[in-house]
Structure 1
Amino acid sequence: MKSSIKLLYTAGFALAGTVAFASPASAQATRTWVSGTGDDANPCSRTAPCKTFAGSISKTAAGGEINCIDAGGFGAVTINKSITILCDETEAGVLVSGTNGIVINDGGAGTAQVTLSGLDLEGLGFTTSGSGIRGVWFISGASLVVRNSTIRNFRDATNGTGIAFTPSTTAKLLVDNVSVTGNGNGTAGGGIVIQPTGSGSSKATITNSRIFNNGGTGVLTSAVGLTAGTALYTEIRGSEISNNNAGVGAISPPSTRSVMVTTVHSTSSQNTLYGVLSNGSSAQNRLSDDVININGTGVQSAAGGFLLSYGDNLLFGNTTDGTFSSTLPKQ
């Protein structure tokens, strides 16, 4: 009898030990870490960091944060939940060829809130290998913040784009202190392309950023393919949109959504086609305290698009300056 009890206790302690060791291994942490010398077999703790963002995200709880301990190339990743990747204090590289860099897609739930900060995304578009497609691609979620980052050389022939914001739900975008350079290819793609799909809509703010030397359009907000519904809003403040194939575009074909782009204290210059375009009777650009110069056409209206000035813009030195539709009183 005593022997049987002893064996039962021994088995019980063994089982308890197994459970105790299994739980921490399967739990997700609210903060995880990556390192250039890490290993994705690790738990992604501060003392045992992972090697890649993809390796770390599965071990990070929804709403949690991934931090970079030191410099490294941390690879492409698909994000399907609320998360922050914060690497402002070191070099956090994402280098890809023939694919997308960072994809945000919560499967249509429209709830994921994602922040990316301190990243260096390289698409190898000027090498002999296959170019990256999109640097950051937002498909579905509630919001995306991209700050203190560089996104360059995503030059896929069809979809090469620095930031592609194509939500299928209602979503918000903030781009703050970001350099978007060398993306797009010819007239395709561009620097920042905001083009919701299905019943999606967007509210975007771009501030203190540099959109330079991109194919396609530097900053494009488009309602192409959408039916009537919530308007698309984009605000650009304190930014430089220069040396792109085209500058700032608002496109809304007839019988689709309204598109309103407001540009304040920014410069659109040296763009091959135009500085600012409104295309479609439901498209409008509102401009205040902007410089528009040395473009093919300074401001251009097509198909009844509106170009509204607050009377304090500098429009000069373009091959064709163009004219504003009207001047609005400053509030």
Structure 2
Amino acid sequence: MSRPGSVRRRVSGLFSLPALVCLLLGSSAWAQATRTWVSGVGDDVNPCSRTAACKTFAGAISKTAAGGAIDVLDPGGFGTVNISKAITIDGGLNAGGILFSATNGVVVNAPGATVVLRNLTLHGGGTGLDGIRIVAAARVQVEGGAILGFTGSGIHVLPGAGAVQLVVRDVSVQGASAKTPATPAELAGSILLESGSAVIVNSQLSSGVIGLHALNNAKVTVSDTTLVHHSAQGLLAVGGAQVVLERSVVAQNGSGIKAEAPALVRLSDSLVGHNTGLGMEGTVVSFGNNRVAAGNGSDGAPTSTLPQN
């Protein structure tokens, strides 16, 4: 006959493993918060709460639930980050920083997800690759802040990203002056779109090789934006890309606007001036309300004019 003590030990052993599994699963679930924080004096071993913040975006994202948000408590550099789920990273009034050297600043590979990057300053220090590299997502919103010091592109939507929607608002992108393409069609661009669609509003693209570079079948709408000081084109559309440019300035570039057939650029209420070479070339359609005769090496002319409805 078994002793009572041995029975208790056997019963305890039967339940110890399931109980441990439940405990571990529960701990994992508790680690996912809908809102987390980072701080320049934080530590990634912390739970990323407001009173015990993490040190890096990479540390915080692992503890943030899909659809949640990471907020910046104070100024600092919070490291590069790979995003694989719906998330908002908000630099707030502190314009949280990401310093990246010989790598990409932010990589978005989140199929079907919406990613928001708000009030962030991404600085590649002259050796960084792409500031924001979009591999896959349903929608990526870049709001406020600045991207500079890179050698690739400030924002780069890759060909495989498919029907991703990019929204850029109130962003300054200072381009990759270190990269000199052998031909105008070589990949470069303060913003480079190889697929998907984009809306760019109230932003500044400056001081790179190409300002906005749209390829393949990318569809882009640009308004209230400046494209200035690029060594090649302020705007280059290639392949089946279509770009609408409204209430914008394309000035002091190597050339202003170039649309390589069958690409198409539609131009409305915009200024194309003081570009060293051609103001416009290729299939550029005007709504008849633009100012192109403004000190270009040669102004060029729209291929046709559309009525304003």
Same fold (TM over 0.5): yes
1:148-167 superposed Cα distances (whole Å, 9 cap, x missing partner): 11000102xxxx11111115
1:295-314 superposed Cα distances (whole Å, 9 cap, x missing partner): 0234333xxx4110011101
1:218 aligns to 2:195 (yes or no): no
* Aligned equivalent of 1:132: 128
What is the rounded CA distance, in whole Å, between the counterparts of 1:7 and 1:67 in structure 2?
A: 49
**Counterpart code for 2:103:** T
What is the rounded CA distance, in whole Å, between the counterparts of 2:167 and 2:132 in structure 1?
A: 13
Structure 2 residue ranges without an equivalent (≥5): 182-186
**Counterpart code for 2:139:** S
1:142 aligns to 2:138 (yes or no): yes
1:81-111 superposed Cα distances (whole Å, 9 cap, x missing partner): 11110112213110111111000113xxx30
What is the rounded CA distance, in whole Å, between the counterparts of 2:219 and 2:277 in structure 1?
A: 24
What is the rounded CA distance, in whole Å, between the counterparts of 1:175 and 1:132 in structure 2?
A: 20
**Counterpart code for 1:264:** E
**Counterpart code for 1:75:** G
Q: Contact 1:297–1:322 (CA<8 Å) still a contact in 2?
A: no
Q: Contact 2:284–2:304 (CA<8 Å) still a contact in 1?
A: yes
Structure 1 residue ranges without an equivalent (≥5): 126-130, 197-201, 224-230, 253-257
What is the rounded CA distance, in whole Å, between the counterparts of 1:22 and 1:105 in structure 2?
A: 26
1:164-213 superposed Cα distances (whole Å, 9 cap, x missing partner): 111512110000000001325223622001113xxxxx110000000111
Q: Contact 1:95–1:122 (CA<8 Å) still a contact in 2?
A: yes
Once the two structures are overlaid, the 10-residue window that deviates more, 80-89 or 259-268, is 80-89
Q: 2:150 aligns to what SS in structure 1? A: coil
Change (3 A) 1:9 1:47: farther
* Aligned equivalent of 1:115: 116
* Aligned equivalent of 2:274: 294
Q: Contact 1:137–1:165 (CA<8 Å) still a contact in 2?
A: yes
Q: Contact 2:238–2:263 (CA<8 Å) still a contact in 1?
A: yes
1:94 aligns to 2:98 (yes or no): yes
Superposition TM-score, scaled by structure 2 size: 0.88
Aligned residues: 296
Tell me how far 1:242 sits from its aligned partner: 0.5
Tell me how far 1:4 sits from its aligned partner: 6.9
Once the two structures are overlaid, the 10-residue window that deviates more, 43-52 or 235-244, is 43-52
Stretches (4+) displaced over 4 A:
1-22
Change (3 A) 1:221 1:14: closer
What is the rounded CA distance, in whole Å, between the counterparts of 1:18 and 1:295 in structure 2?
A: 67
Q: Contact 1:25–1:43 (CA<8 Å) still a contact in 2?
A: no
Aligned pairs for 1:1-331 (under 5 A) are: 23-24=26-27, 26-27=29-30, 28-106=32-110, 110-125=111-126, 131-155=127-151, 160-168=152-160, 169-184=162-177, 185-187=179-181, 189-196=188-195, 202-214=196-208, 216-223=209-216, 231-245=217-231, 246-252=233-239, 258-272=240-254, 274-280=255-261, 282-301=262-281, 305-315=282-292, 316-331=294-309
What is the rounded CA distance, in whole Å, between the counterparts of 2:67 and 2:289 in structure 1?
A: 43
Q: Contact 2:279–2:296 (CA<8 Å) still a contact in 1?
A: no
What is the rounded CA distance, in whole Å, between the counterparts of 1:74 and 1:309 in structure 2?
A: 45
Identity of aligned residues (%): 37
Tell me how far 1:244 sits from its aligned partner: 1.1
**Counterpart code for 2:115:** V
Tell me how far 1:14 sits from its aligned partner: 12
RMSD: 2.3
**Counterpart code for 1:322:** G
Q: Contact 2:95–2:145 (CA<8 Å) still a contact in 1?
A: no
